[in-house]
Amino acid sequence: MNAAVVTADSIDGLRLNRAFKAGILRLLSRQEHLNKINVFPVPDGDTGTNLALTMSAVLGTLQRFPDSHAGKTLTRVADAALDGARGNSGAILAQFFLGVCDKLGHLRDLSAEDFADGVHGGAAYARESLSEPREGTIITVLSDFAHEVNRVRREGVRDLRALLRRGVTVAEQSLAGTTQQLEALRKANVVDAGGQGFVEFIAGVTDYIESGTEDEPAVPMPAVIDAASETTAGLEEDLEYRYCTECVVIGNRVDRRHLREELSAVGGSLVVAGLQHKVRVHIHVNDPAEVFRIAGRFGAVSSQKADDMQRQQHAAHVVGRKVAIVTDSGADIPEDEMDRLDIHMVPLRVHFGDKGYLDRVGITPEEFYDELVRNPHHPKTSQPPPGDFRRQFEFLASHYPAVVSVNLTRKVRGTCASAESAAARIGAQGKVTVLDSEHASLGYGLVAMYAAECAQAGYDSERVLEATRAMVPRTRTFGLIGSLEYSVRGGRVPRWVKNVADTLGVMPVLHNRDGRVTAGGVLFGRKNLREKFARFVQRRMRSGCRYRLLVGHANCEADGRWLLERLSGDNIVYGRLLPVGTAFGVHGGPGLLVVGLQEYDPPQ
């Protein structure tokens, strides 16, 4: 139906809902372009992905809750944007919507004058959320748009369509000017990606309102990327901060000013968005755990995330590689191998009572085992939520032809299912494949490393999957538990089993079999366990076969080093020692020793 049933000088909630959908869909169609021109504050190529995730949360709310009340529509938009905000630009845009909502949330219909008041308040809120506003970014474009809309309103213009069109024209001019306002943009000859995203959104809103249609907006075809947008390829820089860190702080009266002051001392690109009861923090830091500790003094911390910008920056500018490899922190892999093989990791969650951490980001293995000993609450680990995988998949799918996610055996935890759910929901469907490693800990790490070596050798996704699946049964994992007490506390072993083992003086050896971690044998006697464990593993090595070897320890480095030396011989091509992570360590406790063996057959 194409009837302009709403007057030119006002808009109700249903029409606003459709106009916002049109703006969001236009922004989503430009996601890849926004990633390609993203060079500030770091050239990590994720602004399009972050804005897409932020506005997809808003789109979902608009689809679920159409409402004729314009103010209620804006309130839902602001809440969804704050909950779904990702990245610097996403957090700023969420704060803009909060400001608009604060001004207009009580109104059923919006006039041109109301709209001007709302965007003025939104731009002020957005600027206030920044510790160090930088001109030449989205904040400049937002401010110029709001200033022009209010200037036109003061001229007496009451036609909402004319008001919006004049505002969009100035926003586009402001965006073009960002190229000369920041050195990074000038060198790359691009505009600010966040500012471009806002212009795409507000232009889509304006086009819909001008059309007079009541039809639901149709999903547009993705825009063609012109050659000029490729000029950012190869742009990399040394990063002052490695992690893009975010969290939500919930409390009765969160002191945003003092929170911003404390956080500004530990990082850069700080945005503190929200109101007194709920605040979203975005900051670039080298120590995400410090951010979560500071935030915890102001309220309950949730929705923690920390993206590795160094690895993202490299991924955004890699040339020739056909497949990106993702894993989760249940895989125990040496840190330098993660960097060498360009493996992207999604962290598990670790909880001691009501205190939560991001595995390997908010808490190190060493800190975990110290806490395990002294904390009366036995920890629980949980797989990453689908949203964490989705954010990683969306980003990598925009830079690689294909993505392979190698995950913890599904017979131990639901990590594979979480990754599969995320893969099914991303825009680039079919580009992400989830592979069950059928292993845990070091064996899982070796499988993920092999997949990354296949990708590095130039294999396409089908060949990576085929070769890695063939390597799964040629990989073995063995574990000697430090104390059965921790397995009992975690519910993996009944108390009576520990009592029987103690009475008989035996200690079970864990191994992987058909994707399960089970008892693969026992060691008799509690003395000289590491020597007995070494012989147990050696007896299971095939004669004449060469191996890659990983040895892991849970705060018992000396024992781990001894075991590595004992197992190393002419048949060991590669051997490394590393701390065992939380996913396996939560059941083994301090003193746990783990061995990962993989037949040596490097990709050709």
What pLDDT score was predicted for residue 412?
Answer: 79
pTM, 2 dp: 0.76
The pLDDT of residue 214 is 77
Distance between CA 100 and CA 205 in Å, rounded? 15
**Helical H segments across 37-137, by residue range:** 47-64, 70-84, 87-104, 112-128
pLDDT one-digit tens code per residue, 462-496: 999 999 999 999 999 998 887 777 777 766 667 76
| C-alpha–C-alpha distance, residues 245 and 209, integer Å | 37
Residue 275, token pair as written in the block: 């109101």
SS3 per residue for 311-333:
HHHHHHHCCCCCEEEEEECCECC
Nearest Cα residue to 455 out of 467, 442, 443: 467
Q: What's the sign of the alpha-carbon dihedral 530, 532, 533, 535?
A: positive
Which residue numbers in the chain have pLDDT < 70?
1-8, 42-45, 218-238, 316-317, 319, 427-429, 490-493, 496
DSSP letter assigned to residue 249 = E
Give DSSP secondary structure letters for 408-436: --TTT-THHHHHHHHHHHSSSTTSEEEEE
CA angle 273, 278, 284 (to 5 degrees): 40
Distance from C-alpha of 467 to C-alpha of 465, rounded to nearest angstrom? 6
CA proximity to 167, closest of 195, 132, 193, 203:
203
**Cα-Cα end-to-end distance for the chain:** 60
- Per-residue pLDDT, 486: 73
State how far the Cα of 110 lies from the Cα of 26, in Å rounded to an integer: 23
Q: Which of 492, 525, 531 is nearest to 507 (CA)?
A: 525
Element (H, E) at 553: strand 547-553
**Residues near 178 by beta carbon (within 8 Å), at least 6 away in sequence:** 136, 137, 140, 141, 185, 191, 192, 195
- Which pLDDT belongs to residue 508? 80
3-state class of 344 per DSSP?
A: strand
CA distance 100 to 94: 10
Quote the crossing angle between the two packed helices 386-397 and 47-64, to the nearest 10°.
Answer: 130
Residues 318 and 332: their CA atoms lie apart, in Å, by 25
Q: What are phi and psi of 8, to 5 degrees?
A: -70, -20
* Assigned token pair, 450: 């092999």
Say what the pLDDT of residue 481 is: 83
CA torsion angle 169 171 176 177 (round to 10): 120
Token pair of 32, please? 């890849």
Q: What is the pLDDT of residues 426-468, one digit of tens each?
A: 766 679 999 999 998 999 999 999 999 999 999 999 999 999 9
Q: At what angle do helices 557-567 and 529-538 cross, to 10 degrees?
A: 30
| Structure tokens given for 574 | 């590669």
41: cis peptide before it, omega within 30°?
yes
- Residue 523: which of 554, 560, 579, 479 has the closest Cα? 479
Number of H-type helices and E-type strands within the chain = 24, 19
Backbone CA torsion sign across 26, 32, 33, 37: positive
> What does the pLDDT read at residue 276?
83
- Residue 333, Cα to own-chain centre: how many angstroms? 19
Residues with Cβ within 8 Å of 55's Cβ and at least 6 positions away in sequence, in order, are 24, 27, 28, 81, 84, 93, 201
- pLDDT of res. 8: 61
The answer to whether 8 touches 60, Cβ cutoff 8 Å, is: no
Alpha helix stretches (DSSP H) within 490-556: 495-504, 529-538
603, 588, 536, 545: which is closest to 569 by C-alpha?
A: 545
Please state, in angstroms and rounded to a whole number, the distance separating the CA atoms of residues 210 and 165. Answer: 9
* Predicted local distance difference test score (pLDDT) of residue 233: 44
Could you give the angle at the alpha carbon of 23 between the alpha carbons of 22 and 27, nearest 5°?
115
Looking at residue 229, its pLDDT comes to: 37
Other Cβ atoms within 10 Å of 113 Cβ, number: 17
Phi, psi of 475 (to 5 degrees): -120, 140
